Amino acid sequence: MVLKKFAARSALVASLGLATITPAQAQFWQCAPFARMISGIAIRGNANTWWAQAAGRYLRGSVPKVGSVLAFEATRRMRVGHVAMVSKIVSAREVLLTHANWSRRGGVENNVRAVDVSAAGDWSQVKVWYAPQAGLGTSAYPTKGFIYSGKDAAVELAAVEEGTAS
């Protein structure tokens, strides 16, 4: 009888332990903490503040580079903006993004299409893959540009500030 009670208690404890284990994909992500984690760009706060916060800390520009973060402007539909890391360059006007909280609330998407639809070809307006439509969404989103990460960013920034950049 004692053995049966012990076995039942052990089974209960084990099942409760398994119930608390959740896979990494079950994590609810906001775009900014996720972008910070995967890009190494140490900026905190809402996505719409990243561009200004990057000034003087990271290089910024309008040319996508792998590992850079595309900063989206805040809009009526996206009040706190959005940030997404460039995971691959497809062409001068198409990249793949890895980001969170876009197609599915709190979900992560890896290597999804983003296309520059700006008239000037300067990445100031993009369309991004939207899973519920299984394609590029119907909306074009304004962006501020790319925030560049990497170990060389501080050296490059210092060279730009000193006017010695090549």
What ranges do the domains of the chain cover? 24-162
At position 96, the amino acid (one-letter code) is L
What residues contact residue 75 under an 8 Å CB cut-off, 6+ apart? 81, 141, 142
Q: Which CATH class is domain 24-162?
A: alpha beta
d(CA 109, CA 80): 19
Instruction: Return the pLDDT at 96.
Output: 98
What number is the average pLDDT over the span 1-8?
48
Number of alpha helices (DSSP H) and beta strands (DSSP E) in the chain: 4, 8
| Cβ atoms of 131 and 109 closer than 8 Å | yes
pLDDT per residue as tens digits for the range 69-111:
999 999 999 999 999 999 999 999 999 999 999 999 999 999 9
| Cβ atoms of 36 and 43 closer than 8 Å | yes
